[in-house]
Amino acid sequence: MKKRPSMNIGAAILFGIFGLLFFVLMVRFITIQVTGEADGKVLASQAAEKYIKSRILEAHRGTIYDQKGEVIAEDTSAYTLVAILSPTVTSDPDNPKHVTDPKKTASVLSDYIEMDESEIYEKLTTEGAYQVEFGAAGRALTHQMMLDIKDEELPGVTFRKEAKRFYPNGTFASHLIGFAQKSTNEDGKPVTTGKMGIEKSFNDILGGENGSVEYKSDVWGYLLPNSEEHVTPPKDGNDIYLTIDKKIQTFLEEAMNQVQKQYKPKNMFAIVSDPKTGKILAMSQRPTFHPDTRVGLTDNWTNTIVEETIEPGSTMKSFSLAAAVNEGKFNPNEAYQSGTYKVDNVPNPIRDHNGGEGWGSISFLEGVQRSSNVAFAYLLDKIGFKEFEGYLHDFGFGEPTNVGLPHEASGSILYHYPIEKYTTIFGQGTTVTPLQMIQAESAIANDGKMMKPYIISKVVDPNTKETVKETKPQVAGNPITKESAEKTREYLATTVTSENGTGKRFAIEGYSVAGKSGTAQIPDPETGGYQYGKENYLFSFMGMAPADDPQLIVYVGIQQPELEATEIGSDPVSQVFKPVMQNSLKYLNIKPQEKVNLKQEQIPDLSGLNLEKAKAEIKEAGGEPVIVGNGSEVIKQLPQAGNEILEGGKIILRTDGEVTIPNMKGWSIRDVFKVANISGLRINMVGKGFAISQNIQPDTPVKEDEPLVVNFETPEEQLQKQEQEDDTEEGRP
């Protein structure tokens, strides 16, 4: 049979087409072999992605301890609830590995997690899902809860184990410690990161580095026989030991909880430190939060003690007094006229806190005891403007302490115009941080050596137990001499022991306390001035004990507490200071003194003595004689003979002749009662605090059973009245 020419042509065409295809395939094959790529993708990496599996080996985050090794923050196991919905995982119908009864499963799980049964059921019936989780309600489950759910034997319900940051003490120095939270980084890998406080500042030290494990698998993800695992071990984070003492911190938290509950202040802070080393032993504030649940965190994100500044009020007078003593300008027995002090070219004078009335001509030591602003204005004249500014810097004000915590504020020394210089010496205008105040106070407590505060004691490698870094006590300056520090402590102790002292509420049985109270005005951002009202102050006290050799400093500040009509700002402050100081001293085995030197003297029997001789004996005993009557012989006295009286305490002497009443302005209620009692008058008191007026003129003869009406006001009420008068004079509403 003769072939047709068309068949030959067709065969040739087919041969050419198949030859071309074969050529293309060969070229493609050779190209892939040579380049290892297809469609721009590396085939080896694609195969590795499919067949080489890896998982993260999480590093153990470092533990935070107190100075004695008590755990404050640590990693612990937590569990995430997972429900598998796909039936493909079940190979044996009698032993299902997926959720087979969503309704029953939802009902049981709703008893364990904080999610409605209907919401759980909706998740368990999600169409097309391989598995589901339950959000925040199903995360961070405890080991016990995981076991309880497992005991329910719910098909398809399983758990994923992971590390969780745990704070075993609950609300405990929360703004200082901060918290750490698990999140996902840019690579989609889980990571625990510090969000605030020490957890954030020292995140690199605590965090460590995650490891990984890689292995070859089959198409279903199972480990291939005889394949090797490639493990990169994690590097655990280092442990941090703080200077905080868990016991003292607990004393502080308990006292602050009680005051918070009773007085509901707007803000509150407290610090306990060791003045010999600069160690911060306890630190807390209100509002606060629970680091596990973060409940309360939205009320205040900042560490008030480090990040915010305050006007310190009269607690600043501790350093003003120390400067005057160090300059040799403080004579405790020198007299000055209290009440008001006129600054050149300033319309309103500086006034003492009793409305500018003062207490007449008194000694500078009594001025310190009474917290007289006028006394410190005179002291500034003695010290000198330039010299006192130098002391402000020497005590560390205007500069951060560099304690190592984030966002530390510097404060601001307001010292440009004469009036600012005078107000600075008694704690108004210039701003400080509570931590700066603690640092400065250590110079007075530690014989002139000002210790830099610190919170990190050491950093330890958890594997080798070797100390990686250790903090040593560091002297931050020597603003005053040892002798000046001792004298300053002696004078500050009289603010607690003296009858006239503003710190009487802070006396502690068995221990001598030296310190200074403060009532600082609160700026009003709306008016640019200060807020008014009995409660609108920052009440504070900074004290050290024992006064002769201080082992602890406690600084407490309470802003705008809700006070009863009979209470003053020192009441809630003392309810933090006293139990914390006393319990901490006992805990540190600092034994109470057998007899605290309160400079008490026994009152002699003065009846029948000549008035001048009786007055001399009272002064020799350290008391203050007050005469009721215009005679020359003593016929009665209060307190009676044999009682003890503190230095500076009043002894009322009734003489023969007509009974007269002294000027009792500025007197305590107790002293006014003595006068009424010894004179036989009917007393009628109006108000609380200290006397501001009386219905009977001084030195006027009175008859027995005559009514004596005395009006009293607290220092806060008097200060408020003074400020309102100042505003009226300046034309402000």
User: Considering only CA atoms, which of 332, 378, 593 is closest in space to residue 487?
Assistant: 332
Beta bridge partners of 74: 166
Is 272 within 8 Å of 66 (Cβ atoms)? Answer: no
Adjacent-strand bridge partners of 172: none
Q: Which helix (H) or strand (E) holds 552?
A: strand 552-559
Angle between helices 385-394 and 317-326 (to 10 degrees): 120
Q: Which of 241, 498, 266, 562 is nearest to 367 (CA)?
A: 498
Residue 158 DSSP SS3: strand
Task: Give, rounded to a whole angstrom, the gap between the first and last alpha carbons of the chain.
Answer: 128
- Residues belonging to the chain: 733
- Helix, strand or coil for residue 599? coil
Q: Which of 114, 120, 118, 109 is nearest to 150 (CA)?
A: 109
Q: What is the CA radius of gyration of the chain?
A: 38
Max Cα separation, the chain? 170
Cα distances (angstroms) measured from residue 544 to each of 152, 190, 365, 490, 708: 59, 48, 19, 11, 41
Strands 690-694 and 707-713, by their bridges, are antiparallel
Q: H helices of 335-480, where?
A: 364-369, 373-383, 385-394, 418-425, 434-445
Instruction: Out of 174, 284, 314, 484, pick the active-site residue.
Output: 314
Q: Note the Cα 729 to chain centre separation in Å.
A: 39
**Residue of 501, 482, 502 lying closest to 649 (CA atoms):** 501
Distance CA 407, CA 303 (A): 9
Please tell me the distance from the alpha carbon of residue 480 to that of residue 383, in angstroms, as a whole number.
14
DSSP letter assigned to residue 66: -
Residue 134: exposed, middle, or buried by beta-carbon count in 10 A (0-12, 13-18, 19+)?
buried
Q: Distance between alpha carbon 452 and the CA centroid of its chain, in Å? A: 18
Q: Which residues pair with 159 in a beta bridge?
A: 81
Amino acid (1-letter code) at residue 674: K
Q: Which residues contact 283 (CB under 8 A, 6 or more apart)?
A: 173, 176, 244, 249, 252, 270, 271, 272, 305, 455
Coil, strand or helix: which one is 422? helix
Residues 131 and 84 sit within 8 Å (Cβ to Cβ): yes
* C-alpha 122, offset from chain centre: 45
List the one residue out of 372, 370, 310, 248 whose CA is nearest residue 557.
310
**CA angle centred on 438, ends 437 and 442, rounded to 5°:** 115
Contact 280, 473 (CB under 8 A): no
Structure tokens at 183: 């999140």
Q: What is the DSSP letter of 469?
A: E
**Cα distance between residue 290 and residue 403, in whole Å:** 24
Angle (CA) 252-254-257 rounded to 5° is: 105
CB 577 within 8 A of CB 554: yes
Active site residue 410: no
**Half-sphere CA count of 176, side-chain side, radius 13 A:** 26
Which residues are marked as active site?
A: 314
